[in-house]
Each structure stands twice: as structure tokens, then as C-alpha cells.
């Protein structure tokens, strides 16, 4: 199994934390410095039968400048080049304009998309249901994975599913 996986989501939802957990701390921290690099490789996960290259896609937000516009276009073309997309949200934040902007862009992406609801360790189960409800019309075909990148809950299951798609 091998392929490229894009991770998108608003700042601070936990993208780097998930990458740290999957591929090890050093890589993600180092590559975080290259904030504006297109197709920023954040880490490579390798086992005997699998190689997954994770790519951070910064800059998917409403553009307010020509640089912003360029960043959005770069990020969108990245989405066209990968084999699967992880769209990460924070279980502790309401769906907002930034999420809606990403969702609109994802609607035309014909790849497996996973809605990764992170930080479940810090919300009540009822609240998790409410968040799932807020997103149920957004990407109805996407698989939903509630995880804790920090504590590791459900991360192996997500990896196993991804592996199965590549």
C-alpha cells in the first residue's frame, strides 16, 4: 500500500499533533518551519507493506490578497494530486466560516475524504454527537473518525482504513 495523503483543517485543530503521533516528533516539527512551501511534506509513514506520505496543505481559507489567492490555488491543486484527504476539525469548536470554505472546496474532490474529529478527549460524548450533527450535511459520503491525536484514541483504526484505500 502506498500513496499520498493530504491533511487540511483550520489552524490549531491538531494536524501536527496527529503527524507527530503517526510518523514521529522530529519530522513534523522540522517541516513546520516551512509554512509557505507548496506541497509541504510533513512526514512519511513506512512499515513492511505500507508507505504513506502525509502532506500538509496550508492556506485553504478565504483569500484576502494575491498571495492568499496563490496559496489557495496551490492548496487546491495539491488536493487534486493526492490519493486521500483527511479533513480535520476540532470537536471543541463549532463549525465556522473557515470550515465551510474548506467543505465547499472538498465537494469537487473525487478522492476518499475522511472527516477526522480531533480532541475527543476534551469533550463530553453528547457534545461529540452535536458536532457530528453539525457536519452531517457537509460531506455525507465521508467516513467519520473521532480521534484524540494527543492520546492516540482511534488513530490506529484511521491508519488501517487509509491503508486499505491505498
Binding-site residue ranges for GTP: 9-16, 56-60, 118-121
Locate 59 and state its grid cell. 492556506
**Residue 76 contact partner, candidates ligand GDP, Mg ion, none, CB within 5 to 8 A by sort of partner:** none
Judged by CB under 6 A, the residue of 121, 128, 154, 165 near ligand GDP is 121
Helices (H), the chain: 15-23, 25-31, 66-81, 97-106, 125-135, 155-165
Judged by CB under 5 A, the residue of 6, 10, 13, 16 near Mg ion is 16
- In eight-state DSSP terms, residue 83 is S
By Cβ distance, which residue is nearest to ligand GDP? Answer: 14
Total residues interacting with Mg ion, rule: CB under 5 A: 2
Computed over its alpha carbons, how large is the radius of gyration of the chain?
Answer: 15
Q: How far apart are CA 132 and CA 78, in angstroms?
A: 27
Is 79 in contact with 28 (CB distance < 8 Å)? Answer: no
Least distance (Å) between residue 46 CB and ligand GDP: 21
Least distance (Å) between residue 157 CB and Mg ion: 22
* Residues making contact with ligand GDP (CB under 6 A): 9, 11-17, 118-119, 121-122, 148-150
Amino acid at each position: 500500500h502506498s500513496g499520498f495523503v493530504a491533511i487540511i483543517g483550520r489552524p490549531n485543530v491538531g494536524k501536527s499533533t496527529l503527524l507527530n503521533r503517526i510518523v514521529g516528533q522530529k519530522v513534523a516539527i522540522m517541516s513546520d518551519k516551512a509554512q509557505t512551501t507548496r506541497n509541504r511534506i510533513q512526514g512519511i509513514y513506512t512499515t513492511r507493506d505500507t508507505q504513506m506520505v502525509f502532506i500538509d496543505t496550508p492556506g485553504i481559507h478565504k483569500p484576502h490578497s494575491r498571495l492568499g489567492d496563490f496559496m489557495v490555488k496551490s492548496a487546491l491543486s495539491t488536493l487534486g494530486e493526492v490519493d486521500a484527504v483527511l479533513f480535520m476539525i476540532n470537536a471543541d469548536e463549532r463549525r465556522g466560516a473557515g470550515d465551510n470554505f474548506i467543505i465547499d472546496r472538498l465537494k469537487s474532490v473525487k478522492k476518499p475524504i475522511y472527516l477526522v474529529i480531533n480532541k475527543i478527549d476534551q469533550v463530553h460524548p453528547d457534545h461529540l454527537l452535536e458536532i457530528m450533527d453539525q457536519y452531517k450535511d457537509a460531506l455525507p459520503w465521508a467516513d467519520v473518525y473521532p480521534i484524540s491525536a494527543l492520546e492516540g484514541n482511534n488513530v490506529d483504526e484511521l491508519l488501517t482504513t487509509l491503508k486499505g484505500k491505498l
